[in-house]
Amino acid sequence: MSGILQKMMGIGGMTDQVVAMDLLIAAKSGVRNYAMALTDTGTPEIKATLTKQLEEAIDLHEKISMYLIELGWYHPWYVSRFS
């Protein structure tokens, strides 16, 4: 997108960061939704499928988070019990 259009739309140079953070929020929402669906499952087959999908969603969230941390765009707060 050209600089003029970015200024007109009010997004400036933040486009990549905004899109990346939106992706992270969507990934987090996916993890939450799979976890909730898993608690309401009725059969072992569905539970196994949802568990696999939940694990994949967690992995995706981790990859996105780590990428954004490396770029300096995401600063999660955490307390390590080993520090």
Residue 39, pLDDT score: 94
Percent of the chain's residues with pLDDT above 70: 76
With beta carbons less than 8 A apart as the criterion, state whether 63 and 7 touch: no
Query: Using one digit for the tens of pLDDT, what is the confidence trace for 23-35?
Result: 999 999 999 999 9
* Mean pLDDT in residue range 40-65: 96
43 has a pLDDT exceeding 80 = yes
* Mean pLDDT in residue range 34-59: 96
Residue 54, pLDDT score: 97
Report how far residue 21's alpha carbon sits from residue 64's, in angstroms, rounded to the nearest whole number.
9
